Structure 1
Amino acid sequence: MDGLRYRLNAVAINRILRQGFRYYSRKPASKRVSNGPARFKLQNDIRNVQKPAKTGNAKAQDRGVFHYGSFGGLKEIGEAETQKTAEVLKKISDFEQLKILPKVRTALQQVISEESIALDSSKDVSSIKPSPIQVAVTQKIARTLMDKQLQINTIAAETGSGKTIAYLVPLLDYLKRVEDETPESWDLIKDKAIVRSVILVPTHELVEQVYRTVSQSAALLGLNAFRWNMNTSYTDFIDAVKNRIDVMVTTPGKILNTFKVRIINRPDRLFSGVKFVVLDEADTLMDKSWLEETHSAIQTFPNVNHLIFCSATIPNEFSKTMDRLFPTRKSITTPKLHKISRKIDFKLIDASLNPYKGSKMKVLSQILYAVLKDGTEAGFEKRCVVFVNEKKDAKKVEEQLRSKYGHDCISLTGEDTVEERLQKIDLFVKPARPLESLESNATVSELIEDTAEFLPNSNIRMNRTKPVTASQKKVSLKVLVTTDLMARGLNFHGIRNVILYDVPKTAIDLVHRAGRTGRMMQGGRVFMITDKKTKSWAKAIPKIVRSNKTLS
């Protein structure tokens, strides 16, 4: 009976995946039976959700700003700030219109074509369009790119919007213009042991990700790129810098360590040539726990011309820190900042309703089963990321999904070593693998063929199933259970499904977690599991997404 019940519940969710989360019994509400797997309601019809609490300033609600959470969250961006960007975007929609060197433009278009899952590989590279943040950043910084005084800018745009390319455009354009437009200065430094630009990131996972994009771009432009990660020795760094490092990707800690070892002579001289510095995931790097180290690393670059802080969100605390340390900075944002993409199908499932009876694990297992069998991503291995709030819960969820429900699952937290983290996320940050390339039968399950039959006096459909032969369609699903450690900055290639096992506590967490899918204007689904304790401001999120409101 338990097996039948599990199957019925999964079939119900499967139907919900296709038709949306408005699921009712045919009987009138007054006669619905509240117990048993055959009669239940999944609550996501926004008409039945409580109205969001009017926290904060009522005028914010009128401006289309929605306050998520009970404490510190995202800064409200002024209309004047985003209006400037909107006006630029109306005028410019092509790389050809941007003031950058043709060879830089061609190289970056090539990189975009190779990295983007949204583009047809047969499409002419020259026809690739810049994203809004790429247009805004290039247009703003190009005006004073070669000025010698210090210029400080903050870049903020929605997750998956192409921010890495956005800051690489002025960085690479600057490096090549120094070579082309000031040949006398270039002759003086081209053979010296110096570092010309640095990109700082908070984690070694991001070092690898950013370096992949940087190295592709640098190779096309004849520049020397170098990544300094946990596997890089000081000897490797010395050998690289002897041949000049044009772009170095590393962490603040690695920069500071160069001043603590004898093998590197006069690191201050090596860094005196750094003219362009980018802080990627700046809201993390400028957080209280990172601030002292990050600020010290910045101070090791005494001759910097451009200092860029890049982030997917502007938390209130980050904004206050920047106001205090860099009050003269200029801000570049997009109109979609702090919004969840409308390309994302955001769904709620209430675990307090029958047949789950408060078990979030039952909800999670059946969502995964339905995702596995929903017929999407045909011919490719599916991947799904599950977020929990506490690292102690990640391993528990993984073990239950593996042992009790048979899902192919791994967990990842900050307690794992860097090597373990890189190995575990490898499948999730690369494009999906074709099923025909998978050799192990353990990772591929047979797709069942369904014949629909409705249960008596119900709209619950029970499927009569039969296995498909081994030569026919197969499916595979990999599941990663993690904390916010993996929600910041990582580009999960083609992840179509994200599950919020725990309701995010702040708007910051919500934006970053939901942003692991629906990247670069692709579609995706986010499932948030709720219960009786879930606040109204969390239950209202599907409506907020549909109405395109800004989170605060």
Structure 2
Amino acid sequence: MMTSRLPSCFGLRFYAKRAATIRAKPSKLASSVGIGAKRSKKTVKKKGKEVDIFNYGKYVGLKERDPGSETKGKELLDKLSSFDQLKILPEVRNSIKNIIKDETLSKKAKESEDVIPSPIQLIAMKKLSRTLMDPKLQHHAIAAETGSGKTMAYLIPLFDYLKRQETEFPEDWEFMQDKAIIRSVIFLPTHELVDQVYNTVKKTENDLKFHVYKWDSGTKYPEIVEKLKNRIDILITTPAKLLNLFNIRMISRADRLLSEVKFVVLDEADTLLDKSWVEDTHRAIRSLPNTNHLLFCSATIPNDFNDTLERLFPNTIPITTPRLHKLPKSVDFKIIDSSINPFKGSKIKALAQTLYAIANDSSEPGFEKRCIVFTNEKKDVPYIVEKLKVTYGHDCIGLTSNDSVEERLEKIHDFITPPKPITMKKETPKIENEDSVEVEGSNITIGDFSSKTSVKNSNSESSLKVLVSTDLMARGLNFQGVRNLVLYDVPQTSIDLIHRVGRTARMQQRGRVFMITDKKTKSWAKALPKVIKKNMTLK
């Protein structure tokens, strides 16, 4: 049977001994994105060309990329363009193509005979396939821009690894296929993400015959115990849930159930390894002693995350794309200045009119529109929702950490599913006594109105649905068909900015972002439209 023991780097004594040495030398991941930062615009020379780096936010939060890594990524992508060029088992390749085609919103992609992989899918599988079945412990960090297909970038090697175990080691497979074991684990930080990834992975149950199971907040102990009587090929859960295996009295030897786990993924790894999560996450990893592959996956490489990888997993090999830490090229970024007339400093008026303009423009004809509004503070969500609903007549809901998992899943349902066609003409809120005023640098037409403006509502449902939330909903969730996003507050860091903006313009779809500013807004925030236009890297 294939076995692989973790080296001493998983022991606490090793960390203590290595602390001084690790601090003294940069990690491989750090070198892939550069070290050192200044609080100003910076230009890096790369093979005679100048590459702009923009320092966004109150403090530098992202590691700077090594100029050479972008060149290597581009050179590899120049040679690869198809799944057929990758070392993937035919049944896995077909399954992957079917899943991608099923989940895409692009009509052209659905009707196409072939499926084109994204850059991170090509780069990740090309690099991982070289040593995929090597029994030694391997650490890799997959980092790519938001909405780039990172989930499939780690699922492809995972699926291929599991099927190769079955075909290349038939004696081992015959022994384990009817055993009560877990073969791989995908860790995620929230139950919404657990549900999202599970809905994708379970599509392999028919063609690849994988036994897939999610352990989320609604799972009762008797249910998980019953499920563990048979083989689980892919378990999708949180680190805390996995650790609960050792607290269930009906399970006498949790260590035996986990002894055959060979492939482990940490999705949204920068969250799972931050200060509030790292203890549980590290304990969960250490409970899987025979791991062969440990993959970290993230849309950003924050300084703290890089430092944690350097300290705990110093042998991690980076896999990144040329567009890491860049905002999507397909996003149309607009600034709405609430300090000018007719708003006179009222951000809520600017927000209400922005939503009114979105609802009434000619985009997304025939389909119900969706818009996400992000705010920095949880306490502001109820206020914004009440104002939008009561004063301005918008179809709006709010979501915070006070909501239960079940409530959150219900609230986000219309935003993570494909847009619904409009079967009847819908009326949107009408604002009386409008004086059209065009805001410079924006495609929004503003009406002159006060907080007491009368709103005419019809009994029909609005064609625009609005979700107001915080960063709770900014990580990893695939908001299908959300083409409009409003930043009610200016994100304080480049990390927050990238993740919030990344909820739209996903997988090369078009998207619009409207950021509301005021007199206190710093110049680095107002420069974002130019940052996108010039294809600058954020730091």
The bucket for the TM-score relative to the shorter chain is 0.7 to 0.9
Q: Structure 2 vs 1, CA of residues 462 and 269 (structure 1 numbering), >3 Å: closer, same or farther?
A: closer
Asked if residue 107 in structure 1 is aligned to residue 107 in structure 2, the reply is: no
Using the alignment, how far apart are the partners of 1:330 and 1:121 within structure 2?
A: 32
- Cα deviation 1:277-332 (Å, max 9, x = unaligned): 00000000000010001000001100000000000110011001101111111000
Match 1:55 to one of 39, 54, 76: 39
Residue 118 of structure 1 is matched in structure 2 by 106
Contact 2:44–2:67 at 8 Å: present in 1 too? no
Aligned residue identity for 1:213: T
Residue 334 of structure 2 is matched in structure 1 by 347
Aligned residue identity for 1:88: L
Residue 550 of structure 1 is matched in structure 2 by 537
Match 1:407 to one of 380, 394, 402: 394
1:156 is displaced (CA, Å) by: 0.4
Residue 289 of structure 2 is matched in structure 1 by 302
Asked if residue 93 in structure 1 is aligned to residue 81 in structure 2, the reply is: yes
SS for the counterpart of 1:222 is: coil
- Cα deviation 1:454-503 (Å, max 9, x = unaligned): 99xxxx9999xxxxxx9xx9961110000000000000001000000000
Match 1:332 to one of 319, 344, 347: 319
Asked if residue 210 in structure 1 is aligned to residue 204 in structure 2, the reply is: no
Root mean square deviation, CA, Å = 2.3
Using the alignment, how far apart are the partners of 2:41 and 2:56 within structure 1?
A: 13
- Cα deviation 1:105-130 (Å, max 9, x = unaligned): 000100000101124375245x1110
Q: Which runs of 5+ in 1 are unaligned?
A: 1-52, 464-469
Asked if residue 146 in structure 1 is aligned to residue 133 in structure 2, the reply is: yes
Q: Structure 2 vs 1, CA of residues 121 and 88 (structure 1 numbering), >3 Å: closer, same or farther?
A: closer
Contact 1:373–1:447 at 8 Å: present in 2 too? no
SS for the counterpart of 2:379 is: helix
Q: Structure 2 vs 1, CA of residues 156 and 237 (structure 1 numbering), >3 Å: closer, same or farther?
A: same
SS for the counterpart of 2:155 is: helix
Using the alignment, how far apart are the partners of 2:287 and 2:296 within structure 1?
A: 17
Q: Structure 2 vs 1, CA of residues 446 and 299 (structure 1 numbering), >3 Å: closer, same or farther?
A: closer
Residue 369 of structure 1 is matched in structure 2 by 356
Using the alignment, how far apart are the partners of 2:333 and 2:446 within structure 1?
A: 24
Q: Structure 2 vs 1, CA of residues 341 and 234 (structure 1 numbering), >3 Å: closer, same or farther?
A: same
Contact 1:132–1:334 at 8 Å: present in 2 too? yes
Using the alignment, how far apart are the partners of 1:173 and 1:291 within structure 2?
A: 29
Match 1:76 to one of 64, 73, 98: 64
Using the alignment, how far apart are the partners of 1:454 and 1:207 within structure 2?
A: 46
Asked if residue 201 in structure 1 is aligned to residue 185 in structure 2, the reply is: no
Using the alignment, how far apart are the partners of 2:371 and 2:447 within structure 1?
A: 26
Contact 1:431–1:493 at 8 Å: present in 2 too? yes
Using the alignment, how far apart are the partners of 2:446 and 2:249 within structure 1?
A: 72
SS for the counterpart of 1:143 is: helix
Aligned residue identity for 2:427: S
TM-score by length of 1: 0.83
Q: Structure 2 vs 1, CA of residues 86 and 462 (structure 1 numbering), >3 Å: closer, same or farther?
A: closer
Match 2:427 to one of 426, 432, 445: 445
Contact 1:410–1:481 at 8 Å: present in 2 too? yes
Asked if residue 493 in structure 1 is aligned to residue 475 in structure 2, the reply is: no
Aligned residue identity for 1:424: K
Using the alignment, how far apart are the partners of 1:120 and 1:106 within structure 2?
A: 19
Aligned residue identity for 1:445: E
Asked if residue 242 in structure 1 is aligned to residue 229 in structure 2, the reply is: yes
Asked if residue 286 in structure 1 is aligned to residue 268 in structure 2, the reply is: no
Using the alignment, how far apart are the partners of 1:419 and 1:384 within structure 2?
A: 21
Contact 2:356–2:429 at 8 Å: present in 1 too? no
Aligned residue identity for 1:203: T
Asked if residue 271 in structure 1 is aligned to residue 253 in structure 2, the reply is: no
Q: Which has the higher mean CA deviation after the structures are superposed, 216-225 or 503-512?
A: 216-225
1:239 is displaced (CA, Å) by: 2.1
Using the alignment, how far apart are the partners of 2:313 and 2:70 within structure 1?
A: 20
1:80 is displaced (CA, Å) by: 2.0
Contact 1:379–1:475 at 8 Å: present in 2 too? no
Aligned residue identity for 2:253: R
SS for the counterpart of 1:331 is: strand
Residue 65 of structure 1 is matched in structure 2 by 53
Aligned residue identity for 1:81: S
- Larger radius of gyration between Structure 1 and Structure 2: 1
Residue 163 of structure 2 is matched in structure 1 by 176
Using the alignment, how far apart are the partners of 1:187 and 1:350 within structure 2?
A: 66
Using the alignment, how far apart are the partners of 1:514 and 1:425 within structure 2?
A: 17
1:364 is displaced (CA, Å) by: 0.2
1:379 is displaced (CA, Å) by: 1.3
Using the alignment, how far apart are the partners of 1:540 and 1:121 within structure 2?
A: 34
Residue 20 of structure 1 is matched in structure 2 by none
Aligned residue identity for 2:378: K
Q: Which runs of 5+ in 2 are unaligned?
A: 1-36, 438-444, 449-457
Using the alignment, how far apart are the partners of 1:478 and 1:221 within structure 2?
A: 38
1:534 is displaced (CA, Å) by: 0.6
Contact 2:353–2:447 at 8 Å: present in 1 too? no
Q: Please give the residue correspondences for 1:160-175 in structure 2 after superposition, counting only pairs within 5 Å.
A: 160-175=147-162
Residue 3 of structure 1 is matched in structure 2 by none
Identity among equivalent pairs (%): 55
Contact 1:445–1:474 at 8 Å: present in 2 too? yes
Q: Which has the higher mean CA deviation after the structures are superposed, 98-107 or 77-86?
A: 77-86
Q: Which has the higher contact order (CA 8 A, sep 6+)?
A: 1
Q: Structure 2 vs 1, CA of residues 265 and 57 (structure 1 numbering), >3 Å: closer, same or farther?
A: same
